[in-house]
């Protein structure tokens, strides 16, 4: 000891750097790297000074005479010997196998501990030979390796390269392949290494079983179906990230861990899918405030309530009920049920009822059934049949322009459609596509009173109708934690005759933000939307949006046909609370001032 300085160690170097790490959670493989490259260990750390070291609050690293930042992970304890080993291990991981700790000096007054280190030379790679015991092509992998001839040898880079090699073999279906460093030859005179890597390609294997968490409501058969993994089939490709994305796209799955391959007897493996289920159901309440129109009427509260049960009995079955209270004594109800995988097959079936009541003008009921087939990952084809029943109310029976305002109508329709769902995370997607299209054709039989030569008579006609509905959302990641959402909603009906009860409604939080609920009606309505989202956390985001609505109104009675556009814009936020999600937005349009915006608040309670 000299003054306030105590020399704790001098002349210490590590003789072996080793790493044993399991790689790629979905792959049964180990990489073992052990390098006996440095000179024998010399020097001894006096453990009696550990108490002194513990009192020092700062470590300083002096490398080759210059101070550098202290490496992360080294010096996790006050044990001096362990700190030295961690420090030399870090140097070895960076490729400095001849590094040595020349001395450790404690300054008790300044409260610092100085480590003087000589890094030694960085070994260069003279050659690297990958020996695969099959004729599988790995040229693409070699072109992307970090470990290359002529560069400095860093074991951590080599380790990551071998992980990538295992992933490439896994993508090709060889999920039980193993990779190891067979030999590292060191030329001490030229400070170079020659690396030999041995890879064992076990070839294709069969899926013997699929497992999920014991407490998961999602059945193993459903999880396998969604991930496109079939028991008894050969694994031609195994992409853990793609499997996770397919499962996470389902709203009834909250999160998915890393898929794992477990070796079974013979040429079979078991695939384990660690799934965390979302809440078995939710109750959504959406409230909107519509400011006064300036004619003396006060503002109005509108809203809707929706009950959804998801993944019922573990088969992905869905049940839902929705009630809407809209301005002008208008109310609607929707009930639906769907089993997307009947008896574990790719065939699904669904039923739906829609009811709509517009004051005393008319009521409309729709009963529908749908069959579907899962074509490929996320893509489902549909066929449907439905019946629409329209009944006029007291106001609908009145005569306008020589005919009854709302006819009594019965319609039968058949349709085909496609649904596609592929997003990275259902509650808050950052990338992916959601799309739905349905085309229906049918015939509507109508009875109504008409005035002919001053006499009122009953007229019955039958007209053909075609109906089209399209909904799409595209999620594109931009900067870190940010994404752009682009979407199109469109609905249209084509017929030889139109009545008010045939038209589609547009406006409000779910169809055109910045306008009153169902403010517009038309034979063709739609909107183009764009949102810019900033992700606050995994499930929460703030957003700016703009909508552009389109309305095509046909000629009805004395009203002329028209085509109008309606822009809207605003901002909002979605965040998660202990009881569920909250979604709030403030929307404006170009006709109203900034103080006359539409406020919408949505609450989603998990059951």
- Dump pLDDT digits (tens) for 457-503: 888 899 999 999 999 999 999 988 899 999 999 999 999 888 888 99
- Strands (DSSP E) along 55-205, which ranges? 58-63, 66-68, 100-107, 112-118, 124-132, 178-187, 192-200
Task: Return the pLDDT at 33.
Answer: 35
pLDDT of 235 > 90? The answer is no
Burial of 109 (0-12, 13-18, 19+ CB in 10 A): exposed
For the record, the structure tokens of 109 come out as: 């007054």
Q: Give the pLDDT confidence score for residue 372 in this predicted structure.
A: 96
Average pLDDT, the chain: 81
Measured in Å, how far apart are the chain's first and last C-alpha atoms? 69
Q: Are 271 and 379 part of one and the same domain?
A: no
Cα separation, 94 vs 92, in Å, equals 5
Mean pLDDT is lowest, of 45-54, 120-129, 135-144, 520-529, for: 45-54
pLDDT band of 221, cuts 50, 70, 90? confident
**Is 275 a residue whose pLDDT tops 80?**
yes
Rounded to an integer, the average pLDDT of 339-362 is 91
DSSP assignment letter at 540? -
Backbone φ and ψ for 227, nearest 5 degrees, come out as -85, 0
- Could you say which of 73, 93, 118 is where a domain stops? 118
19, pLDDT greater than 60: no
Residue bearing tokens 């609905």: 491
Domain endpoint, select from 164, 185, 200:
200
pLDDT-derived band of residue 215, with 50, 70 and 90 as boundaries? confident
Do 232 and 129 fall within a single domain?
A: no
Rounded to an integer, what distance in angstroms lies between the CA atom of residue 137 and that of residue 128?
17
Band of the pLDDT at 61, cuts 50, 70, 90?
confident
CATH of the domain at 148: 3.10.20.310
Which of 171-180, 303-312, 376-385, 530-539 shows the lowest per-residue confidence on average (mean pLDDT)?
A: 171-180
* Lowest pLDDT segment from 9-18, 495-504, 533-542: 9-18
| 465 and 594 both lie in a single domain | yes
Q: Are residues 40 and 20 in the same domain?
A: yes
* pLDDT tier, 290 (very low <50, low <70, confident <90, very high otherwise): low
User: Which segment, 44-53, 350-359, 392-401, is predicted with the most confidence on average?
Assistant: 350-359
And the tokens for 529?
Answer: 């939307």
Is the model's pLDDT at 18 over the cut of 60?
Answer: no
Same domain, 195 and 213: no
Q: Among the listed ranges 257-271, 401-415, 423-437, which one has the minimum average pLDDT value?
A: 257-271
Report how far residue 234's alpha carbon sits from residue 206's, in angstroms, rounded to the nearest whole number. Answer: 4
3-class SS of residue 47? helix
Share of the chain above pLDDT 70, in %: 87
Mean pLDDT of 549-569: 88
Q: Do both 591 and 530 map to the same domain?
A: yes
- Same domain, residue pair 349 and 268: no
- pLDDT value of position 8: 42
User: How is 306-321 classified by DSSP, letter by letter?
Assistant: EEEEEEETTTTEEEEE
CB atoms within 10 A of CB 239: 14
Please indicate, yes or no, whether residues 255 and 382 belong to a single structural domain of this protein: no
| Average pLDDT of the residues in 112-137 | 83
What confidence score (pLDDT) does residue 154 get? 84
pLDDT of residue 17: 30
Virtual torsion, Cα 554, 558, 560, 564, nearest 10 deg: -70
> How far, in Å, CA of 319 to CA of 336, rounded?
6
Q: What pLDDT is recorded for position 296?
A: 56
More confident position, 401 or 575: 575
User: Minimum mean pLDDT among 139-153, 262-276, 283-297, 524-538: which range?
Assistant: 283-297
Residue 26: predicted pLDDT: 26
Residues in the chain: 607
- Is pLDDT of 199 > 80? yes
Query: For 157-172, what is the mean pLDDT?
Result: 83
pLDDT for residue 41 is more than 60: no
Average pLDDT over residues 527-548: 93
**Are 458 and 507 part of one and the same domain?**
yes
- pLDDT of amino acid 56: 56
* pLDDT reading at 7 higher than 70: no
Q: How far apart, in whole angstroms, are the C-alpha atoms of residue 376 and residue 380?
A: 7
Domain of 130? 124-200
- Answer yes or no: is pLDDT of 78 > 80: no
Task: Using the predicted structure, report yes or no on whether residue 543 has a pLDDT greater than 70.
Answer: yes
Has residue 44 got a pLDDT over 70? no
CATH number at residue 547: 2.40.160.50
Banded pLDDT at 409 (limits 50, 70, 90)? very high
Mean pLDDT of 499-526: 85
Q: How many domains, in total, are found in the chain? A: 4
- Report percent pLDDT > 90 for the chain: 27
Higher pLDDT, 301 or 586: 586
Per residue in 354-366, pLDDT tens? 999 988 899 999 9
Same domain, 169 and 90: no
Calculate mean pLDDT across residues 306-321.
88
* pLDDT at 35 > cutoff 50: no
CA distances from 88 to 14, 84, 329 (A): 6, 6, 77
Same domain assignment for residues 106 and 139: no
Identify the domain boundary among 171, 200, 229. Answer: 200
**Do 325 and 379 lie in a common domain?**
yes
Could you tell me how far CA 156 lies from the centroid of its own chain? 30
């Amino acid at each position: 000891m000299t003054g306030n300085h105590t020399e704790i160690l001098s002349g210490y170097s590590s003789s072996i750097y080793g790493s044993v790490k399991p790689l790629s959670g979905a792959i049964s493989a180990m990489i073992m790297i052990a390098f006996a490259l440095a000179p024998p260990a010399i020097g001894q750390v006096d453990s009696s000074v550990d108490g002194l070291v513990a009192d020092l609050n700062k470590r300083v690293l002096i490398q080759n005479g210059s101070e550098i930042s202290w490496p992360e992970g080294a010096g996790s304890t006050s044990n001096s010997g362990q700190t030295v080993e961690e420090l030399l291990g870090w140097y070895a991981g960076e490729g400095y196998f001849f590094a040595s700790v020349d001395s450790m000096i404690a300054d008790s007054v300044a409260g610092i501990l100085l480590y003087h280190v000589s890094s030694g030379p960085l070994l260069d790679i003279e050659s690297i030979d990958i020996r695969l015991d099959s004729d599988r092509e790995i040229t693409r992998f070699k072109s992307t390796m970090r470990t290359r001839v002529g560069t400095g040898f860093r074991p951590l880079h080599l380790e990551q390269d071998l992980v990538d090699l295992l992933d490439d073999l896994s993508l090709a279906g060889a999920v039980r392949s193993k990779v190891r460093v067979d030999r590292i030859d060191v030329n001490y005179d030229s400070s170079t290494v020659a690396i030999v890597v041995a890879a064992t390609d076990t070839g294709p294997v069969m899926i013997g079983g699929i497992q999920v968490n014991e407490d998961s409501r999602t059945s193993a058969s459903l999880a396998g179906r969604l991930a496109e993994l079939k028991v008894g089939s050969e694994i031609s490709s195994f992409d853990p990230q793609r499997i996770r994305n397919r499962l996470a796209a389902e709203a009834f799955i909250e999160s998915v861990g890393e898929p794992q391959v477990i070796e079974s007897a013979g040429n079979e493996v078991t695939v384990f899918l660690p799934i965390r289920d979302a809440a078995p159901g939710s109750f959504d309440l959406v409230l909107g405030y519509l400011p006064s129109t300036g004619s003396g009427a006060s503002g109005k509260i509108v809203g809707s309530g929706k009950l959804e049960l998801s993944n019922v009995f573990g088969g992905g079955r869905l049940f839902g009920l929705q009630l809407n209270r809209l301005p002008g004594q208008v109310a609607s109800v929707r009930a639906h049920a769907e089993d997307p995988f009947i008896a574990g097959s790719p065939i699904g079936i669904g039923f739906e009822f829609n009811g709509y009541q517009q004051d005393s003008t008319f009521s409309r009921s729709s009963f529908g059934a749908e069959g579907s087939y899962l074509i490929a990952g996320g893509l489902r084809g549909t066929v449907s049949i439905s019946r629409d029943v329209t009944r006029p109310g007291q106001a609908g029976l009145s005569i306008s322009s020589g005919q009854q305002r709302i006819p009594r109508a019965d319609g039968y329709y058949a349709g085909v459609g496609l649904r596609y769902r592929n997003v990275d995370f259902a509650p808050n997607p950052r990338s992916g596509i959601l799309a739905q299209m349905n085309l229906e054709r049918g015939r509507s039989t109508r009875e109504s009173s008409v005035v002919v030569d001053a006499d009122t008579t009953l007229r019955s006609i039958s007209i053909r109708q075609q109906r089209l509905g399209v909904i799409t959302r595209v999620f594109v990641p931009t900067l870190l934690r940010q994404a752009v959402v682009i979407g199109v909603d469109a609905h249209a009906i084509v017929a030889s005759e139109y009545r008010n009860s045939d038209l589609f409604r547009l406006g409000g939080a779910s169809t055109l933000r910045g306008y009153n609920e169902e403010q517009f009606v038309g034979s063709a309505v739609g909107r183009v939307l764009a949102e810019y989202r900033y992700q606050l956390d995994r499930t929460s985001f703030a957003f700016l949006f703009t909508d552009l609505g389109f309305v095509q109104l046909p000629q009805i009675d004395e009203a002329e046909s028209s085509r109008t556009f309606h822009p809207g814009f605003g901002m909002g936020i979605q965040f998660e609370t202990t009881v569920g999600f909250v979604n709030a937005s403030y929307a404006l349009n170009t006709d109203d001032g900034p103080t006359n915006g539409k406020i919408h608040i949505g609450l989603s309670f998990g059951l």
